[in-house]
Amino acid sequence: MDISNYNVKDTTKCECGLEFNIHDIDGLKTIDNHGFFSNIARTCSQIRCPKCKKETVLLLRQKGQTWQILGIATKIEKKQPMKTENKAQINLSNELVCPICQKACKNKLGLNAHMKTHNK
Ligand SMILES: [Zn+2]
Ligand SMILES: [Zn+2]
């Protein structure tokens, strides 16, 4: 799996205080990102915290017949409001582009003045 969107924490404890152990491992996945965690953790397990249900990835290293949890990783939440803001800005800049010659104007007044030059 691709772990680049995850925040790695050097702990085996969940934010809620629960300590993960190897019994929480539920299915193994190979980490695709080269050089991740100094290549020590090549395997992980995507689980939900049994206590707070938060999605967590356990970073694992094989230790003989069993596994050692090196740390955990949690998904980085993408902030939605930022996207809407960007979209609004694009709409605004479109408004300030002359529909006839595509010239960009700094403000609405400038565009209006520019538009008059096409009506001559
Ligand atoms: Zn938890
Ligand atoms: Zn124009």
Query: Could you report the per-residue pLDDT of 64-114, keeping only the tens digit for each?
Result: 999 999 999 999 887 666 555 555 555 555 578 888 998 888 888 999 999
Q: Could you tell me the distance, in angstroms and rounded to a whole number, from the CA of residue 73 to the centre of ligand 1?
A: 12
Q: Where are the domains of the chain?
A: 6-75, 90-120
Q: H or E stretch including 91?
A: helix 80-95
Which tens digits make up the pLDDT trace of 46-56?
A: 999 999 999 99
Q: Could you tell me the distance, in angstroms and rounded to a whole number, from the CA of residue 2 to the centre of ligand 2?
A: 47
**Spatial separation of the C-alpha atoms in residues 55 and 89, rounded to whole Å:** 33
- pLDDT for 92 equals 53
Instruction: Give how far Cα 45 sits from Cα of 29, 37, 111, 113, Å.
Output: 6, 15, 56, 62
Neighbours of 59 (CB within 10 A): 25
- Please compute the mean of the pLDDT values over residues 4-25 and round it to a whole number: 95
- Please compute the mean of the pLDDT values over residues 3-26 and round it to a whole number: 95
Cβ-contact 76, 7 below 8 angstroms: yes
- pLDDT for 93 equals 53
Q: Could you tell me the distance, in angstroms and rounded to a whole number, from the CA of residue 118 to the centre of ligand 2?
A: 6
- pLDDT for 88 equals 52
